[in-house]
Amino acid sequence: MKETLKGLIGKDVVVDTRSPWMYIGRLESVQADSLLLRDVDVHDSGETPLPKERYVLAACETGIKANRCSVYVSLDYVVSASLLSEVIKY
């Protein structure tokens, strides 16, 4: 997975985790045990009634609303990562 993720460096990504937390930002690097994201919107879906997918769709339409300059995300919690530009608008 790490080698595949390296192909996304420098691009805006959506990182889904095994928790209510999700991350939308620019992938800066893939490290041994974490991802480093820059200009990140860190979102706790447990705090809002808006489902994760709707939140991602809003980010596609309005842009990333960064609330952190940088974030390290543990690879142990990552379920998936995809390009923000490849989110299908439905």
**pLDDT tens-digit map of 67-89:** 999 999 999 999 999 999 999 98
C-alpha distances (whole Å) from 67 to each of 2, 17, 23, 30, 44 are: 25, 18, 10, 21, 12
Fold of 2-84: SH3 type barrels. (2.30.30)
- Locate tokens 């706790």: which residue? 44
Sheet with 12-17, side-by-side order of all strands: 68-74, 34-44, 21-30, 12-17, 78-83
Per-residue pLDDT tens over the stretch 21-60: 999 999 999 999 999 999 999 999 988 888 889 999 999 9
CA 50 centroid distance within chain: 16
In the chain, % of residues over pLDDT 70 = 100
Domain ranges for the chain, please list them. 2-84
- Across-strand partners of 72? 36
Q: Is the pLDDT of residue 1 over 80?
A: no
Q: What is the pLDDT of residue 8?
A: 97
Q: Exposed/middle/buried for 47, CB within 10 Å: 0-12, 13-18, 19+?
A: exposed
Q: What is the pLDDT of residue 12?
A: 98
